[in-house]
Structure 1
Amino acid sequence: MNPRARIPWQIWIWPALLVVLAVVAWLLPWRDWVPLLRAWVESHERTGWLVFILVYVVVVMLPLPAAAMSVVGGLAFGWWGFPLSIAGSILGAIPPYLIGRHWLREPILRRIGSPRVLAADRVIARNAVIFVALLRLTPVLPFTVQNWLLGLTAVRFWPYIWATLAGLAPGTLAMVWIGEMGGLASAEVEDATLWLVGGGLAAFCVMVLWIGRLATRELRRAGFDEG
């Protein structure tokens, strides 16, 4: 069997996680507390948005499950959870990058700056947007770890931001979608609506799997292989 034809196990993380979370969103007793959460959000309006984004930033900067925050965003804000989660992710990704770039990069390169490491750094810099976007799409490393490591590379600030935005959008949308499913399950909606949302989520899982395969293939072409 051609080793390049094998599907890396990391590609299955997103679809498996989406399925598990969707089942949880379907089964948990959301009717008990989701209406209370949404009522609090509606009564506080912009304050609720700000609190959510600030908490999201803290979660992203620390080794905590940021994906769970996107699910909460869907539960609390519905589809508005998507732009709010994206904003929290981007704002939380900036400080680790800046710290790594301005204070950690040079000392670390002086210690481990072998020709191979420097060559890899140049490859990443030349393909910054593609590399960062595909890295965000492929859940090989936790998002927080990616932020710190990318700060050690030659990737410039704005390519880092735009590529992060592009790479995070599909996964964030999926997490918010799951949260919105929980919100629908807590409301008086017809089963057909829930099945429609669930079917869309299943189709989205297939798309994420397909994108993950393409991302891994491109990373290998750039010389970043597991073996």
Structure 2
Amino acid sequence: MSNESAAPKSLPLARVLVGVVAVVALVALGRQFGVFLDRFVEWVDGLGALGPIVFMLGYVAATVAFIPGSVLTLAAGAIFGLGQGVVYVMIGATTGASLAFLLARFVAREAIAQRVAGDPRFAAIDRAVGREGFKIVILLRLSPVFPFNMLNYGLGLTNVRFVDYVAASIGMLPGSLLYTYSGFVAGDIVRLTSETGPDRGPGYYAVVALGLL
């Protein structure tokens, strides 16, 4: 009897451990690949027609791996311009955020929900998000207080519907527009001031844009 009762209890714990290990691995991976971000941006700039596809795939991978997307968003403006840059950023960010959400929901949600079910605070938040998912998620997206990458995984642990979660990605548009425009302007400034100077890659534009902000 004791062995049979212990088995079901060990299963949720194992799932929690798997989830924790996965998150730690993704963070470590993100830090490693962050070193190569500038090279990736310059490489994308030289790919021609394949550049947008590779950029969006890179943005998806960066989002899942906890790599901050601000530099990539700035670089999108420098490489592709404002209009196309915003479109590529939104596609990459929404796809990456959706994958992170699904990973959290199907890897860790059940185990974590069982452990915090007795906490009235979590239950209240979970119910609120379940009822007003779109409104709450879009407000969270509009707020600069909540880290984008962590929010993707955190919302996967709630009862928010996936459809509402994806639809609320529109809340990322203002920030994406701001950063892409900054990268676009920085790219123009660098191009105008370096006609007789050395060539600069998109990574340099991103750094200049950060300075403008």
8 A Cα contact 2:64 2:96, kept in partner: yes
Over the matched positions of the two proteins, sequence identity in percent amounts to: 34
CA–CA distance in structure 2, aligned partners of residues 132 and 65 of structure 1: 19
CA RMSD of superposed structures (Å): 2.2
Please, which moves more after superposition, 111-120 or 155-164?
111-120
Query: What's the CA shift for 1:103?
Result: 2.6
Corresponding position: 1:130 with 2:160: no
Q: 1:70 aligns with which of 48, 73, 94?
A: 73
TM-score, length-scaled by structure 1: 0.62
Q: Which runs of 5+ in 1 are unaligned?
A: 1-35, 190-204, 206-227
* Secondary structure of the corresponding residue to residue 81 of structure 2: helix
CA–CA distance in structure 2, aligned partners of residues 126 and 188 of structure 1: 52
CA–CA distance in structure 1, aligned partners of residues 43 and 107 of structure 2: 41
With over 3 angstroms needed to count, the CA separation of the structure-2 counterparts of 1:89 and 1:115, relative to structure 1, is: same
Query: What's the CA shift for 1:40?
Result: 2.4
Higher Cα Rg, which structure: 2
With over 3 angstroms needed to count, the CA separation of the structure-2 counterparts of 1:175 and 1:154, relative to structure 1, is: same
Q: Which position in structure 2 is the counterpart of 1:219?
A: none
CA–CA distance in structure 2, aligned partners of residues 38 and 107 of structure 1: 40
With over 3 angstroms needed to count, the CA separation of the structure-2 counterparts of 1:188 and 1:57, relative to structure 1, is: same
1:58-82 Cα offsets, whole Å, 9 max, x none, are: 1111222111110010011112110
Q: Which position in structure 2 is the counterpart of 1:169?
A: 173
8 A Cα contact 2:90 2:173, kept in partner: yes
Q: Which position in structure 2 is the counterpart of 1:40?
A: 46
With over 3 angstroms needed to count, the CA separation of the structure-2 counterparts of 1:87 and 1:186, relative to structure 1, is: same
Q: Which position in structure 1 is the counterpart of 2:57?
A: 54
Query: What's the CA shift for 1:115?
Result: 2.6
CA–CA distance in structure 2, aligned partners of residues 58 and 98 of structure 1: 14
Q: 1:179 aligns with which of 161, 180, 183?
A: 183
